[in-house]
């Protein structure tokens, strides 16, 4: 770590840095970002773009007295470095190390573990109102919101409320890089783009920054004059129509200019928008030139060339390929994504059928109800979304799609344990919250072939369906050895009346088979079945359970109200007395670690399952 960074243990140290040294500090931070993220993976592009902005924020405001809220939190790597965690930065996203998002347990400077978009302004509204009500007049709340996050409806609900309180000490920094994962879409993006181009007032001071590089105070004063001229000659845009003071647009790589604007915004003592133009991946050419997402989220890579390891085909790729094939067969299929065209695998569908694919921005609620409208119009939408983000649109699934029995297929990527991104990104809630939705069918494929088959079955249903699959490399193919109704039998026990029936949910099939093999070596007979469709469950499951002493359900979802509970309820309702053991994730917010490590920590390995099942059935076997 460099001498400049070594001298910054907290933000107050940053205020003492000579302004002439700030460009070197920015370079050092970028080098550290590339060095670490090339090994750990993470959100490199967004962090590279906000280096100067973050420096200016911490020179102007007094964190943690002045809360700084990041939306989303993947922009906060530089914030972590400047708030005493530079020495720990090499542990980023590693088990026991720094989180990839702000974390209240890490630092008093992290106010919100903000990894779901469009929430910062509501947090800021509440914090600023609390400060006002408590008479804390020397406190300013700062929300840094990416332009992509402004596509979320919740952000506009908050803006409406913030603008209604004229003396609310709230500074809203719009980090405008024209991208979320990929280019930001919609009317807001168009408007921000027009503001970026409306910069004729800057010609008045052309070359001033270079000529006055040795006189930062004078340059700052001239920038203030420039801002005043802009207020006279440049349209303020829709923000001032809402009642919000507007400063900008400001070059986000011009630290003195950003600092001057932030000081003016702080001193205004009311709700202010500071519009900062940044560039995702700034200062690292491989990221700047990466057309897909500017290294938005990357795995390990060569820091010199920017090249990563060869891509291994994963679940998302299988879904992507099959959907393109289905699109050729059915012209009523429509793709919908919430600002994740590439991450959810819809980019290939959009390339093949551009008229039939819609990116709605970070607006999951709108995505689902728009899908309902498309279904009413005679089409079959496929909404591709991360499992964790479906939580935000539950009401729309329940009341706008399922209530009307509409043919909408929801494809949940990153279902189950995702690992590195921590508690907010584990897709461990969907099987629980969706169990209560009437008429909804849920498929959980165990491998690539089943994903293709179940996706085809899902879009053929004249009603709401869900297909869920995990993050990462595809599972090895597991062929059925028989059928039980609509279920696949993956392993038959060696006797007619066996000891345990293991119900394997999706990718947990391999773990269940491993457990069954261990049990057999101990003299315990096990049958393994894959329901394929975990909602509704097949009645044949009751018949199968009756010939076993125990039913064990294995899933990578939370145990409460998951498939295990649904199986137990099915047997109870049928009058069966066969006991059910549910093996899944505890209802906790799980710390970041690799998927395999988290599953192991929670007893979801073949050896752990065999041990617990053996402990339960052994007394019955002994008798």
Distance (Å, whole) CA 433 – CA 598: 22
Half-sphere exposure of 174 (CA within 13 A, CB side): 30
Distance (Å, whole) CA 561 – CA 441: 16
Q: What is the mean pLDDT of residues 382-395?
A: 95
167 is in an annotated binding site: no
- 3 state DSSP class of 279: coil
Residues in contact with 511: Cβ distance below 8 Å, sequence separation at least 6, in sequence order = 504, 554, 599, 604, 605, 606, 609
Residue 370 token pair: 């728009």
The 3-state secondary structure of 531-572 reads CCEEECCCCHHHHHHHCEEEEEEEEEEECCCCHHHHHHHHHH
Residues in contact with 166: Cβ distance below 8 Å, sequence separation at least 6, in sequence order = 243, 270, 271
Asked whether the predicted pLDDT for residue 7 surpasses 90, the reply is: no
The CATH number for 315-468, chosen from 3.30.1490.20, 3.40.50.300, 3.40.50.970, 1.10.3720.10, is 3.40.50.970
Distance (Å, whole) CA 235 – CA 484: 69
Element (H, E) at 193: helix 187-197
138 is in an annotated binding site: no
Between 282 and 355, where is the model more confident? 355
- Give the other-Cβ count within 10 Å of 538's Cβ: 18
Residues 290, 281 contacting (CB under 8 angstroms): yes
327 is in an annotated binding site: no
Q: Which residue has the tokens 């790589």?
A: 253
Distance (Å, whole) CA 610 – CA 502: 11
Distance (Å, whole) CA 258 – CA 328: 50
575 is in an annotated binding site: no
Between 255 and 218, where is the model more confident? 255
In this prediction, residue 312 carries a pLDDT of 81
Sign of CA dihedral 272, 274, 190, 76: negative
Q: What is the mean pLDDT of residues 454-476?
A: 94
Asked whether the predicted pLDDT for residue 291 surpasses 70, the reply is: no
284 is in an annotated binding site: yes
H helices within 295-357, ranges in order?
A: 315-329, 347-352
Taken as a whole, the chain contains a residue count of 623
77 is in an annotated binding site: no
Q: For residue 50, how far is the Cα from the chain centroid?
A: 19
Taking phi over 0 as left and psi of -120 to 50 as alpha, with beta for the rest, 29 belongs to: alpha
Residues 103, 28 contacting (CB under 8 angstroms): no
| One fold for 315-468 and 482-622 | yes
Residues 167, 140 contacting (CB under 8 angstroms): no
Distance (Å, whole) CA 553 – CA 545: 12
Distance (Å, whole) CA 578 – CA 550: 6
219 is in an annotated binding site: no
Q: Which fold does the domain 482-622 belong to in CATH?
A: Rossmann fold (3.40.50)
Distance (Å, whole) CA 124 – CA 219: 31
Half-sphere exposure of 107 (CA within 13 A, CB side): 26
Task: List, by residue number, the catalytic residues.
Answer: 280, 364, 392
**Per-residue model confidence as pLDDT tens digits over 27-83:** 999 999 999 999 998 888 889 999 999 999 999 999 999 999 999 888 899 999 999
Asked whether the predicted pLDDT for residue 620 surpasses 60, the reply is: no
Which residues sit opposite 533 in a β-bridge? 443
Task: Give 293's pLDDT tier (boundaries 50, 70, 90).
Answer: low
149 is in an annotated binding site: yes
Q: Could you say which DSSP state residue 312 is in?
A: P
- 84-98, 521-535, 609-623, range with the lowest pLDDT: 609-623
Which residues sit opposite 550 in a β-bridge? 500
Residues 83, 580 contacting (CB under 8 angstroms): no
372 is in an annotated binding site: no
Note the maximum CA span of the chain: 93
pTM of the model: 0.87
Its CATH class, for the domain covering 45-79+99-198+235-288, is alpha beta
Q: For residue 391, how far is the Cα from the chain centroid?
A: 11
Domain boundaries along the sequence of the chain:
45-79+99-198+235-288, 315-468, 482-622
């Amino acid at each position: 770590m460099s001498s400049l960074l070594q001298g910054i243990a907290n933000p107050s140290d940053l205020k003492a840095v000579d302004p002439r040294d700030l460009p070197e500090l920015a370079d050092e931070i970028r080098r550290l970002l590339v060095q670490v993220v090339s090994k750990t993976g993470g959100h490199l592009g967004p962090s590279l773009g906000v280096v100067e902005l973050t420096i200016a924020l911490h020179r102007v405001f007094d964190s943690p007295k002045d809360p700084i809220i990041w939306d989303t939190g993947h922009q906060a790597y530089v914030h972590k470095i400047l708030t005493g965690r530079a020495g720990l930065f090499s542990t980023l996203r590693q088990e026991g190390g720094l989180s990839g998002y702000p974390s209240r347990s890490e630092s008093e400077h992290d106010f919100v573990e903000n990894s779901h978009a469009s929430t910062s302004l509501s947090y800021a509204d509440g914090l600023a109102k609390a400060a006002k009500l408590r008479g804390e007049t020397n406190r300013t709340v700062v929300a840094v919101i990416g332009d992509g996050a402004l596509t979320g409806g919740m952000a506009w609900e908050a803006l409406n409320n913030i603008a209604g309180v004229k003396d609310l000490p709230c500074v809203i920094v719009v980090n405008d890089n024209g991208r979320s994962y990929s280019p930001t879409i919609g009317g807001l993006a168009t408007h921000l783009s027009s503001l970026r181009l409306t910069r004729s007032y800057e010609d008045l001071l052309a070359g001033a920054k270079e000529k006055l590089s040795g006189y930062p105070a004078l340059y700052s004063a001239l920038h203030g004059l420039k801002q005043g001229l802009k207020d006279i000659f440049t349209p303020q845009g829709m923000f001032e129509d809402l009642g919000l003071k507007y400063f900008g647009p400001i070059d986000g790589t011009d630290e003195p200019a950003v600092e001057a604007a932030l000081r003016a915004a702080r001193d205004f003592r009311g709700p202010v928008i500071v519009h900062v133009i940044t560039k995702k991946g700034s200062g690292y050419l491989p990221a700047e030139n990466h057309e897909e997402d500017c290294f938005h989220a990357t795995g390990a890579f060569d820091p010199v060339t920017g090249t990563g390891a060869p891509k291994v085909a994963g679940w998302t790729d299988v879904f992507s390929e099959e959907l393109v094939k289905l699109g050729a067969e059915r012209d009523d299929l429509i793709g919908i994504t919430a600002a994740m065209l590439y991450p959810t695998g819809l980019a290939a569908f959009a390339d093949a059928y551009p008229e039939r694919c819609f990116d709605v921005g970070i607006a999951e609620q709108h995505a689902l109800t728009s899908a309902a409208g498309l279904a009413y119009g005679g089409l079959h939408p496929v909404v591709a979304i991360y499992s964790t983000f479906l939580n935000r649109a539950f009401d729309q699934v329940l009341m706008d799609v399922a209530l009307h029995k509409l043919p909408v297929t929801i494809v949940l990527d990153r279902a189950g344990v995702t690992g590195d991104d921590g508690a907010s990104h584990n897709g461990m809630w969907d099987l629980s919250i969706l169990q209560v939705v009437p008429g909804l069918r849920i498929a959980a494929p165990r491998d690539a072939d089943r994903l293709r088959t179940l996706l085809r079955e899902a879009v053929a249903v004249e009603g709401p369906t869900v297909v869920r699959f995990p993050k990462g490399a595809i599972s090895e193919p597991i062929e059925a050895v028989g059928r039980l109704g609509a279920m696949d039998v993956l392993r038959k026990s060696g006797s007619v009346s066996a000891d345990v029936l293991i119900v394997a949910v999706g990718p947990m099939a391999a773990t269940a088979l491993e457990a069954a093999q261990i049990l057999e070596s101990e003299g315990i007979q096990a049958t393994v079945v894959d329901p394929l469709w975990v909602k509704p469950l097949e009645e044949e499951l009751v018949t199968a359970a009756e010939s076993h002493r125990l039913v064990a359900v294995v899933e990578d979802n939370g145990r409460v109200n998951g498939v295990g509970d649904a199986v137990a309820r099915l047997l109870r309702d049928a009058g069966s007395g066969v006991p059910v053991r549910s093996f899944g994730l505890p209802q906790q917010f799980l710390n970041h670690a690799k998927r395999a490590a988290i599953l192991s920590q929670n007893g979801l390995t073949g050896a752990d399952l065999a041990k617990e099942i053996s402990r339960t059935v052994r007394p019955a076997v002994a008798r």
